[in-house]
Amino acid sequence: MTVTEEMKKARRKAMSLLEHMDRTEKGLSERLRQAGFSKEAAEDAMEYVRSYGYIDDDRYAFHYISCRIHSKSRQKIMEELYRKGVDRSVAECAWERAKEIEEPDEQEILRKTVEKYC
């Protein structure tokens, strides 16, 4: 397959978007489509960044969980990851890995949440 000019632009856009913040595959794909790239160009850009390891939903989910494990409930974190397009099995696996490193205190998180709204 020859790389068209649109595909090159989509690759550059994908790299630029990832330069500013980590994203899920769904999130990056949506941003490329919102930027006006064709489905084919967006898919090519996704494959391009994936081939270099620049996008990885497993890594994204693990970091997302690690940053929120002490401030949000497991249910809330998982719900947010699902909305971002992370597959349920990927999110579950990432949760288990993060939990092995640092066990969340679910009761403390719940107490803080209740206090915040009372």
Q: Is the pLDDT of residue 73 over 70?
A: yes
pLDDT interval class at 18 (50, 70, 90): very high
pLDDT interval class at 110 (50, 70, 90): low
Supply the DSSP string of 38-88, one letter for each residue.
Answer: -HHHHHHHHHHHHHTTS--HHHHHHHHHHHHTTTS-HHHHHHHHHHTT--H
**CB 43 within 8 Å of CB 6:** no
Average pLDDT, the chain: 90
